[in-house]
Amino acid sequence: MTILGIDPGTNTTGFGIITWERNKVNWVASGTIELPEKETLARKLELIYDHVVDLAHTYKPNECAIENVFYSKNVKSALKLGHARAAAMLGALHKAVHISEYSPKDMKMAVVGNGNASKEQVQYMVKMVLGITKEMSFDESDALGLAICRAQRIKAPRASVSSWKAYIKAHPDRVKVK
């Protein structure tokens, strides 16, 4: 399975592509989409969309993990980030890629084991898990972290009530009922 992670932004958008096979994640590609500072917002969104379509066409991901909008004191920045997310999501949807959204806390918890981890800690763990030695930006490592988070969620989906009932029924000797 191939997973595309996207850390959206209107100045820099990070992307990371991993494969997940036999419970092992492997690094395929990663980088950033650098957007011209003096360009209009509409043109930046078009560039994000076009790059994500190209990534989806080239790497054919089955899944896409994108960072959710987090609380921001600056409403204007939050709105721009929302636009960047939408452009990236539409680019993935253009190639019929399933999209999952994760908060920065969820991603940090999945990668580092601490939802309040620093960007440096996330980057260190991403490089260790994927065996990457090259220098990378925080946007790039966050995107790879989102892809790793998605792989972990696919690997171990949250249990539902019915799955526990099925487990108890299948293994009555392992459960003590009071």
Active-site option among 7, 63, 140, 142: 7
Q: Choose, from 63, 67, 106, 140, the residue flagged as catalytic.
A: 67
Give catalytic status of residue 67 as yes or no: yes
Whether 106 is catalytic? no
Confirm whether 39 is a catalytic residue. no
Per the CB < 8 A criterion, the answer to whether 7 and 14 are in contact is: yes
63, 106, 139, 140: the catalytic one is 139
Over the Cα atoms of the chain, what is R_g? 18
- Please report, as a single letter, which amino acid is at residue 167: Y
Among the listed residues 61, 50, 66, 54, the one whose alpha carbon sits nearest the alpha carbon of residue 14: 66
For residue 131, the number of C-alpha atoms closer than 13 Å in the C-beta half-sphere is 6
Q: Which residues are catalytic?
A: 7, 67, 139
